[in-house]
Amino acid sequence: MAAQFTVHGRLWIEGPDGSILGHGRVELLEQIEALGSLSAAAGALDMSYRYAWKLVKSMNEHSDTPLLKLNAGGRGGGHATLTEAGKAAVAAYRRTDREFEQFLADQTDKLPG
Amino acid sequence: MAAQFTVHGRLWIEGPDGSILGHGRVELLEQIEALGSLSAAAGALDMSYRYAWKLVKSMNEHSDTPLLKLNAGGRGGGHATLTEAGKAAVAAYRRTDREFEQFLADQTDKLPG
DNA sequence: TTGCGTTATGCATACCTGTGCATTACGATA
DNA sequence: TATCGTAATGCACAGGTATGCATAACGCAA
């Protein structure tokens, strides 16, 4: 029997400085790490470059230590890289998110018929 | 030591018919049950009557069995009551939500430094 | 049958999120 | 120094969410 009703949710981590790290931002950071470019990362996520740039701007503004470094110009036009703080933040979120997925599945099973 | 970072989230239940029951709708249903009036419930939640009415409309439209019954006119001008299905839905959501709160607290504790 | 307060609903509006387009700034390398 | 593709940023706009105002429909009770 497939479950009639399903439990869904969204998860994010808030820092003392008001920073917010949720699903969208983490995916963006991961793509940046993988592709080395903000514009490529935005494209891979079907997200507008305009908005992706706004996200990283707010991330870096709100965090004590920046999560990533953007470089305009240079070889290939520019590039983007995660800082150690950025990599750590992504890892922490992923750990929490994995347990969250499990939680949602468990709760869906617990729902009445 | 208080936690520097905290885990937050939102939770909702989706039905096979596309119905959605989240925090806001559940609070509205609870207030309706307590106060017996949609207009009073909206007021108690600092929500516009206009929007509260739209919420219950979409809830009843998407659910096979309506979650509540609205009556215009009559003694006192009208009144609103939860159906049995509505009460059951609220109870199911609250059960899940209680465990979710616990989950968030646990995950916050697990976060690094 | 009139009055009352509630439900019912349209219309205009504001905010937030996210898109799309256009243009400029940048800087290593050829 | 000229080139090239990326980062940086302004402006206009669309869609969802939520508000506020105005007005009609409703139906029991006095």
Structural domain B19-102, CATH architecture: Orthogonal Bundle (1.10)
Instruction: Give the C-alpha separation, B45 to B39, whole Å.
Output: 10
Q: How many CB atoms lie within 10 A of CB A112?
A: 10
- Determine if strand C comes within 7 Å of the CB of B49: yes
Predicted pLDDT at A1? 60
User: From the CA of B113, how many Å to the nearest CA of chain A?
Assistant: 11
Q: What is the largest CA-CA distance in chain B?
A: 60
Position of tokens 């885990």? Answer: B7
Predicted pLDDT at A3? 58
Q: What is the mean pLDDT of residues A77-82?
A: 96
Instruction: Give the C-alpha separation, A82 to A33, whole Å.
Output: 6
Using CA atoms of A6, A109, A12, B24 in order, give the dihedral in degrees to the nearest 10: 50
| pLDDT, tens digit, 9 for 90 and up, residues A16-38 | 888 899 999 999 999 999 999 99
Q: What is the mean pLDDT of residues B90-110?
A: 97
- The residue of chain A with its CA nearest to that of B112 is A92
Does the predicted model carry a pTM greater than 0.85? yes
DSSP E strand stretches across chain A: 6-14, 20-22, 68-72, 78-82
Instruction: Give the C-alpha separation, B89 to B22, whole Å.
Output: 11
Position of tokens 């869906």? Answer: A108
Which amino acid, one-letter code, is at B42? Answer: A
Residues B28/B37, Cβ–Cβ less than 8 Å: no
| pLDDT, tens digit, 9 for 90 and up, residues B48-94 | 999 999 999 999 998 889 999 999 999 999 999 999 999 999 999 99
| pLDDT, tens digit, 9 for 90 and up, residues A35-76 | 999 999 999 999 999 999 999 999 999 888 999 999 999 989
Which amino acid, one-letter code, is at A20? Answer: I
Predicted pLDDT at A18? 81
Helices of type H across B5-83: 23-35, 38-44, 49-62
| pLDDT, tens digit, 9 for 90 and up, residues A102-112 | 999 999 999 98
Structural domain spans, chain A: 14-105
Q: Which A residues 78-107 touch B at CB under 8 Å?
A: 88, 92, 95-96, 99-100, 103, 107
> Would the CB atoms of A13 and B10 count as touching at under 8 Å?
no
Instruction: Give the C-alpha separation, A59 to A47, whole Å.
Output: 16
Which pLDDT band, with edges at 50, 70 and 90, does B1 fall under? low
Instruction: Give the C-alpha separation, B51 to B11, whole Å.
Output: 20
Per the structure, the residues numbered 11 to 70 in protein chain A that have their CB within 7 angstroms of any atom of strand D are: 37-40, 49-50, 53, 56-57, 70
Q: What are phi and psi of A86, to 5 degrees?
A: -65, -45
Q: Which of B16, B100, B107 sits opposite A96 (nearest CB)?
A: B107
CA nearest neighbour of B44 among B82, B71, B73, B36: B36
- Determine if strand C comes within 7 Å of the CB of A22: no
Q: How far is the CA of A88 from the C1' of D25 (A)?
A: 60
Residues A5/B15, Cβ–Cβ less than 8 Å: yes
| Complete edge-to-edge strand list for the sheet that includes strand A20-22 | A20-22, A6-14, B6-14, B20-22
Q: What is the mean pLDDT of residues B83-108?
A: 97
**Highest CATH level, class, for A14-105:** mainly alpha
